[in-house]
């Protein structure tokens, strides 16, 4: 079996090899090929990976290349983890929205919109190569904004695609701490979209154990807060009213003004802090490899356990096991309040045919409107990125609850076209919506 990692020089990639070692040979991977445009970082990650595998039962060969065709050819599973424009682009995505009085984030709101416009065209190019060179391979997307990129791939390519986020697995580990059980003993009942999700239940041996904890949570020193399952911004009264645990990114919607003020007061954006962290990781990887300090830094950056659900899904596909994993998948009939062809983030049964989303039923009324609004924004963003459609781009921003007004959307998008012109050639003057004529 060959796994290819596109964007393999990421500082997170060593965790993939650490997780393979933790599986103790249960997943027989003959080769992992790392593809990246940065040869220096690529070689460094290869060396760290080889150190991790030495002395373990894992006999995986690690190779590195800058040749996309060679990397994709013969691959069984292809991990897509790219950041178009690097951290410099992420910092722009965080800073520019704040100039317009909007929260800034690389996956949510106006910043996530720009990230999607840059990333989707490259994802589509890679998918075309996969279709041509490895038509039976699975494309496993980790690139942000994961739900939007995955939706573009599902709608516009025939490539077998599943998307991933580490929030569900990290939530599971937090709940395992609260319950005093192994994370593998918990079945998560989660619903929503990528970075817009809620956990309704957590089952241990068939017993639902989350709802009683939510009902008795009265202050921020309660177990769900102490274990990091609930964002400290979430008021305990609001948690009980929701009756579900909101994912971390709901802070941008429930506490928009407070988050914006915190971002304005901060001397450095998340991307700027990550630049510092990346330099420290470079030094650690050169000397000590994948040390505990490196693990701590990566966890503080928010990327811990990304490969846990990926490897779960790979094993479940190979073994046709029907294991349940929370993934980004085509909706079908899972959430009847949303179109069948859109991407949702829900528990799915994984087998050789892929991911079958489990039916959830109608969305709770207290989150339905927000989910539908954000999904409309995501659909328009995909259309804009695929078609180079300026009208759809502005419509997407207006539909986004974190933007919301035409004047703000129009002015912001004009600045985006200036700042990101090198990455957005499809939006060059004269490109119009299919069926429209200029003049």
Which residues, including other chains, have CB under 8 Å from residue 197's CB and lie 6 or more apart?
167, 168, 190, 191, 246, 247, 345
Task: Kindly state the DSSP code that residue 338 receives in the 8-state scheme.
Answer: S
State the maximum Cα–Cα separation within the chain, in Å, rounded to a whole number: 69
Q: CA-to-CA distance for 139 and 126, rounded, in angstroms?
A: 9
Tell me how crowded residue 296 is: count the other CB atoms within 10 A of its CB.
Answer: 11
Beta bridge partners of 186: 204
Question: Residue 347 — φ and ψ, nearest 5°?
Answer: -65, 140
At a CB cut-off of 8 Å and minimum separation 6, what does 230 contact? 217, 224, 239, 245, 246
In sequence order, what E strands does 209-263 have?
A: 245-246
The answer to whether residues 209 and 199 touch, using CB atoms and an 8 Å cutoff, is: no
φ/ψ of residue 34, rounded to 5: -100, 125
Question: Could you tell me which residues come within 8 angstroms of residue 238 by beta carbon, excluding any fewer than 6 positions away?
Answer: 254
Round to the nearest angstrom and report the end-to-end CA distance of the chain.
55
Catalytically annotated residues: 249
CA-based nearest residue to 413, from 383, 435, 392? 392
Fill in the DSSP letter of residue 26. Answer: S
Q: Which element (helix H / strand E) includes 231?
A: none
How many angstroms separate the CA atoms of 372 and 374, rounded?
A: 6
How many other CB atoms are found less than 10 A from the CB of residue 438?
7
The label of the residue with tokens 């096991």 reads 321
Measured distance CA(421)–CA(427) in Å, rounded: 8
Question: 34 preceded by cis ω (within 30°)?
Answer: no
Chain centroid, CA 250 distance in Å: 15
Two tokens, residue 279? 């330099």
Query: What are the helix (H) ranges across 320-401?
Result: 365-387, 390-399
């Amino acid at each position: 079996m060959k796994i290819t990692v596109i964007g393999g020089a990421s500082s997170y990639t060593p965790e993939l090899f650490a997780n393979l070692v933790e599986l103790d040979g249960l997943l027989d991977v003959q080769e992992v090929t790392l593809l990246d445009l940065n040869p220096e970082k690529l070689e460094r990650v290869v060396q760290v990976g080889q150190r991790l595998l030495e002395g373990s039962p894992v006999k995986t060969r690690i190779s590195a290349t800058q040749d996309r065709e060679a990397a994709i050819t013969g691959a069984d599973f292809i991990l897509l983890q790219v950041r178009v424009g690097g951290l410099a682009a992420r910092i722009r995505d965080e800073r520019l929205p704040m100039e317009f009085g909007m929260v800034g984030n690389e996956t949510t709101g106006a910043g996530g919109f720009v990230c999607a416009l840059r990333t989707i065209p490259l994802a589509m190019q890679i998918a075309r190569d996969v279709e041509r060179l490895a038509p039976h391979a699975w494309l496993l997307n980790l690139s942000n904004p994961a739900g939007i990129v995955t939706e573009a791939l599902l709608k516009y390519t025939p490539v077998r695609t599943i998307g991933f986020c580490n929030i569900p697995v990290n939530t599971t580990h937090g709940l395992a701490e609260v319950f005093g059980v192994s994370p593998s003993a918990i079945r998560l009942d989660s619903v929503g979209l990528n970075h817009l999700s809620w956990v309704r239940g957590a089952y241990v041996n068939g017993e639902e154990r989350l709802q009683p904890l939510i009902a008795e949570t009265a202050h921020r020193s309660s177990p769900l807060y102490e274990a990091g399952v609930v964002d400290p911004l979430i008021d305990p009264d609001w948690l009980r009213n929701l009756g579900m645990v909101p994912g971390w990114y709901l802070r941008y919607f429930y506490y928009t003004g407070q988050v914006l003020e915190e971002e304005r007061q901060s001397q450095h954006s998340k991307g700027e802090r990550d630049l510092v962290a990346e330099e420290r990781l470079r030094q650690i990887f050169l000397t000590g490899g994948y040390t505990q300090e490196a693990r701590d830094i990566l966890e503080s950056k928010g990327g811990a356990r990304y490969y846990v659900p990926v490897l779960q899904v790979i094993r479940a596909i190979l073994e046709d096991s029907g294991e349940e994993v929370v993934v980004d998948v085509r909706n079908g009939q899972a959430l009847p309040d949303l179109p069948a062809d859109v991407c949702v983030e829900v528990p799915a049964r994984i087998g050789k045919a892929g991911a079958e989303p489990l039916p959830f039923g109608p969305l709770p009324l207290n989150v339905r409107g927000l989910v539908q609004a954000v999904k409309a924004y995501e659909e328009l963003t995909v259309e804009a990125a695929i078609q180079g459609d300026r009208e759809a781009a502005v419509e997407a921003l207006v539909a986004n609850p974190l933007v919301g007004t035409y004047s703000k959307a129009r002015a912001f998008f004009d600045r985006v076209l200036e700042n990101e012109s090198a990455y957005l050639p499809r939006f060059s003057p004269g490109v119009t919506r299919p069926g429209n004529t200029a003049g």
